[in-house]
Structure 1
């Protein structure tokens, strides 16, 4: 799905029709001049993506899948009569994302397809790992390929990243809020009370993790507390 209906120099539109159509299998293998950055996707899923001959191959999964454009291209190979190329736009604005994903939601409902909504939301808001998980979910849905169950692993916070940092470098509560709630989430949900609930949930999670860290590493916390007290005493 790209401008003028062209993908890699070849038209995806059949004469007199506005929908994308699947290219013959013999034309479905192409080598991309810029290989994707290393991802957490299984090799079988990456090979499957390459076989679809997309208009461009995702180099940054978090960015390139967030607007739903490539997701529409993927499904067009399996449902060529349902995905209309002129209806999808490859843009970065929130309006573009909402338009593309709204159309995809209607398509999913029509075909009784049920990708994990939490993965879709995480992909829209560029949460780490969400796009990769969504692609795996779609791969399993469309090919019946077996992939490790990913639903139990869904966690789009920066918890794993924080665990890799030294204790003294980990986020404060305010930083945790900034890291774990995206501007697009606030823009899509103007209800102040709901956003307040999200913030409170992040703060509660942050405080619980801090308590666990304090119990597991009491010496680190003692060092931080004494250092902070010393700095206060020596203030001019």
Structure 2
């Protein structure tokens, strides 16, 4: 595609045919020197995904180059999240045929990635990201098909949900009204007059002190 628009800058005889990692890296090194000269920027994730044969990377790279050369955009393609994993393919398979954790690592981490980037910490982060993605898929499967995974319903799910009846609402409104009226009455000042209070006299018999002394 670049040789069609920039014929002098892309002599085809200077590129090697092959699928090995050194051949791909050498060809892309020549292309990147031209891109820097022309001030053309391609996403590194897309380039690396194409070199390592990630799912959907080559298609996205061709679409991006087409947009740069023709100044046209393909509707519904550009602007989507870059995800060069087999997530979409796994979602199309039945649950019995979906990959395990070890198979997910093998599918989403190419050997050429490890060779191109031999850093152990970097590869460990890639493996952890793949395992995290796999666990998220498994959690979604448990929600979609709980019987297959023998997921027991919770007490909240087993409880019977009854709709609220109308008389309960009336009682609550009456109680609210009574409470409001009570509060209104209690808020009014209440003064009790002394005339309305009656006291009853109590007779107390005193014992004879002499009898107590005799006892």
**TM-score with structure 1 length normalisation?**
0.60
Indicate whether 1:109 and 2:36 are aligned.
yes
Equivalent residue of 2:99, what SS?
coil
Whether 2:36 is the aligned partner of 1:143: answer no
For structure 2, the residue ranges without an aligned partner over 5 or more in a row are: 152-215
Counterpart of 2:86? 158
- Once the two structures are superposed, what CA deviation does each residue of 1:78-109 show, in whole Å capped at 9, x if it has no partner? 12232233321111221111100111111111
Aligned counterpart, 1:171:
99
* Cα contact 2:35–2:41 (8 A) shared by 1: yes
Equivalence for 1:96: 23
Residue 216 of structure 1, CA deviation: 2.2
Alignment of 1:39-118 (within 5 A): 74-118=1-45
2:12 and 2:74 mapped to 1: Cα distance? 30
* 1:127 counterpart (46, 51, 54): 54
Query: Greater relative contact order (Cα 8 A, min sep 6): structure 1 or 2?
Result: 1
Greater radius of gyration (CA): 2
Q: Secondary structure at the match of 1:193?
A: helix
Counting matched residue pairs gives 150
| CA shift digits 1:99-148 (9 cap, x unpaired) | 00111111111111112222211111111221111111111110112212
Is 2:21–2:51's contact at 8 Å kept on the other side of the alignment?
A: no
* Displacement after TM superposition at 1:168 (Å): 2.0
2:112 to 169, 184, 189: 184
Query: Would the aligned equivalents of 1:129 and 1:156 in 2 still touch at CA under 8 Å?
Result: yes
